[in-house]
Every structure is written in structure tokens, then in C-alpha cells.
Amino acid sequence: MTFSQLEIFAWIAELRSFTATAEKLGITQSAVSHALKSLEQDWQVNLIARHNNQVELTATGQQLLIHVKELLSISHTLEQEVQALHGLNQGTLRIGSFGASSSILLLPEILDIFQQQYPNIEIYIDEGDDQEVCQWLQERRIDVGFVLLPNTQFDCVPLLNDIFVALIPKTHHLAAYTTIQPEQLAQEAFIMTLAGSQKQVELIFQQFQVQPKIRYRISQILSIISMVNNQLGISVVSDMVLTHKLLALYPNVVKRPFSPNLKRSIGLAVKNNKHLSPATKAFLEIAQQVWKTI
């Protein structure tokens, strides 16, 4: 068993293709096949199954892939530690981001400073919802990810608190209220976000025993605001993404907080604080500094 074989197996599992893996690693397809075959012979198991030109992991392959990614992550951390000792500041950083809150607001502020200090570190960003980010952390697909707190699965660093607000057409009767209650949305045409905060919005309605009349399901915040602006419904979104500059583009939209406030906390998570790469450690430190000053 070699780390090269483990890396090839991990990329086959990720890309579901021998050809794509070969292109990704800059080697021949036969070299990919040979490495996988050698690994299977060494372990005396079948890791990959082929069905109608489709590449799939076997149950054994899925089980062992978790440990393979653990080993590769530790190897990646070790390489960065050695590079840091020589002052090279090179390597990669894989970040998981969910929804507009982290992708549009939190991440750019942190990366602006991070890339100034560490220009040689390659950054890869995967976007999904909160649950997907947690899954990617478990699988070691990413080094660090934005998550909703509290979260007991990982080692977490809190960044900031946020609230949910209702987006309402300016001419709607609810716009006359300074605050509203979730129950008031029960009879209204509702636009459900499919972005990172969808699960929390659903939990809010469950908590207050409200069954919203969902007319639309939309993932992009700009599309949601535009729909509200055109009086097609009401939505519930994170307040932090609704900047004055953004809302100024939609004069027929108002936002109203709930009473009581419906809060959420956002932080950064890593799988294990004891196995942080230098790049991950620097990213966490900069993130804390940035959001303490804003």
C-alpha cells in the first residue's frame, strides 16, 4: 500500500471515472487501473464495481474510503507542517460553505486577508447546505466548514449571531407591523428558501406549529427578493445577507423581525483540532480576528 494508491482510489471514488482521475492526476488511465488493482490485491477486497460503464464503490470500498481520507488528510497536514518549517507557506485549503450567509458575506471578508498573507496557498470551495458541509467534514472532503451552532460533531469556533426576518411586499398588510409572529404567515403565499437556511426555516414553522402555504421553492436569494418585490409571496431569510445596498434595489420589499427574535449562530468547524494543517489553523485565526472587528 502506498499513499499514491490511496490518493488514486480516493479520486476514483470522488470522480466516479478512471479517465477523469487520470486527467486530474496527470497520469495515464492504465496507471490508474494498475494502482487500484494493486491496492485491491494487497487488501484482498473489491473496492470498485463497474456496471454499464458506471463506476461505483462497493460496500467495502465505502467503508474503507473513510479511513483512506483520514490518512490522506493527516499526510496533507504533515506536508504543510514541513513546508511551514521552511517558510514556504504553500499547500491547499478546502472550505465548505453554505448559502448566501457564508458564501457572500462571511467568506469573502476572511479570504481577502487570508490571501494577502498566504498568496501561495490554493483554495478550493465547495458549496452546499449545512448538512452537506457536515458530511464533507466527516468524509475529510474539506478541511474546514461553516456550520450552524451548536454542533457537537466537530471542534467549532463561533463567529457571529444572526436573526431570521420575514421579507414582505411593501403593500402587503403585514408590512404595517414593526414585528411579526410566525403564526401570521400561516395563510400567506410562501416562498421557501432552498439555500443553507432551509432546514432552520422549516424547524421554525414546526416549533410554532405553522403549516406554510408554499407556492415556490427557490435557492437564490436574489430570486427570492425579486419574487417578493413582485408581490408573489412572503419569505423568511437570514437578516445578515440583506444589506441596505441590496434592499435598495428592490423598493417594494420590506423586512420585519419576528417577536421574539428567531436567532441562529454561525461558526467554523473542523473534524479534529489536533490535526489541523497550518493553512487551516491560519484560516481559523484570521476568521476570528475579522469577525471580532466587524
CATH number of domain containing 122: 3.40.190.10
Condensed to tens digits (0 to 9), the pLDDT of residues 43-93 reads 999 998 887 777 889 999 888 988 888 888 888 777 767 776 656 577 789
Q: What is the CB-side half-sphere exposure of residue 160 using CA atoms within 13 A? A: 18
Please report the pLDDT score of residue 87 as a whole number: 62
Same structural domain, 205 and 142 = no
* Domain count along the chain: 3
Domain presence at residue 75: no
Please report the pLDDT score of residue 85 as a whole number: 65
Please report the pLDDT score of residue 55 as a whole number: 86
Contact indicator for 159, 266 with CB cutoff of 8 Å: yes
Same structural domain, 104 and 178 = no
Domain presence at residue 274: yes
Domain presence at residue 78: no
Same structural domain, 93 and 108 = yes
Same structural domain, 250 and 215 = yes
Domain presence at residue 77: no
Domain presence at residue 242: yes
CATH number of domain containing 39: 1.10.10.10
Same structural domain, 145 and 166 = no
Cis peptide before 150 (omega within 30 of 0): yes
Contact indicator for 227, 215 with CB cutoff of 8 Å: no
Same structural domain, 273 and 141 = yes
Condensed to tens digits (0 to 9), the pLDDT of residues 284-294 reads 999 999 887 55
Please report the pLDDT score of residue 172 as a whole number: 96
Residue 284 structural domain: 83-159+265-292
Domain presence at residue 72: no
Contact indicator for 1, 42 with CB cutoff of 8 Å: yes
- Considering the chain, what percentage of its residues have pLDDT values greater than 90? 45
Please report the pLDDT score of residue 241 as a whole number: 85
Same structural domain, 133 and 90 = yes
pTM of the model: 0.69
Same structural domain, 149 and 283 = yes
Same structural domain, 142 and 281 = yes
Condensed to tens digits (0 to 9), the pLDDT of residues 197-249 reads 888 899 999 999 999 999 999 988 899 999 999 999 999 999 988 888 889 99
For the residues of 31-73, what is the DSSP string, one character each?
A: HHHHHHHHHHHHHTS--EEEETTEEEE-HHHHHHHHHHHHHHH
For the residues of 20-34, what is the DSSP string, one character each?
A: HHHHHHTS-HHHHHH
Helix, strand, coil % in the chain, rounded to nearest 5? 50, 25, 25
Domain presence at residue 281: yes
Same structural domain, 142 and 273 = yes
Same structural domain, 179 and 94 = no
Tell me the C-alpha distance between 130 and 133, whole Å: 5
CB count in 10 Å sphere of residue 164: 19
The most confident of the ranges 11-20, 77-86, 253-262 is 253-262
Same structural domain, 258 and 275 = no
